[in-house]
């Protein structure tokens, strides 16, 4: 079994990824007009929604993962 991560490092990671995720969501919704127009232009612009979804999944996914660990919700056996 891997050694458990310390609460302190989990908290730092959660805060960093949480802040990054929050900033990304803020950026998106504060530029709603530009985003909705540009992202739906079709053709090669498909890289915008697909790339953004990937970026959010890395950042927000890491935040969610660390947040759950911080709450003590871990898989059985601690993978």
Binding site for other proteins (CB under 8 A): 25, 28-29, 32, 35-37, 39-43, 45-50, 52-54, 56-57, 60-61, 64-65, 67-68, 73-77, 79
Between 6 and 73, whose beta carbon lies closer to other proteins? 73
Name the minimum Å distance from CB 6 to other proteins.
Answer: 19
**Tokens at 32, concatenated:** 């709603």
For 4, the 3-state DSSP assignment is coil
Least separation, in Å, of the C-beta of 11 and other proteins?
18
DSSP labels, 15-46:
HHHHHHHHHHHHHHHHTHHHHHHHHTS-GGGG
């Amino acid at each position: 079994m891997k050694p458990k991560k310390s609460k302190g490092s989990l908290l730092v990671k959660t805060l960093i990824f949480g802040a990054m995720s929050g900033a990304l969501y803020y950026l998106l919704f504060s530029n709603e007009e530009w985003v909705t127009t540009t992202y739906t232009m079709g053709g090669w612009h498909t890289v915008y929604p697909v790339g953004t979804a990937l970026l959010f999944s890395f950042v927000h996914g890491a935040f969610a993962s660390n947040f759950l660990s911080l709450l003590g919700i871990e898989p059985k056996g601690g993978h």
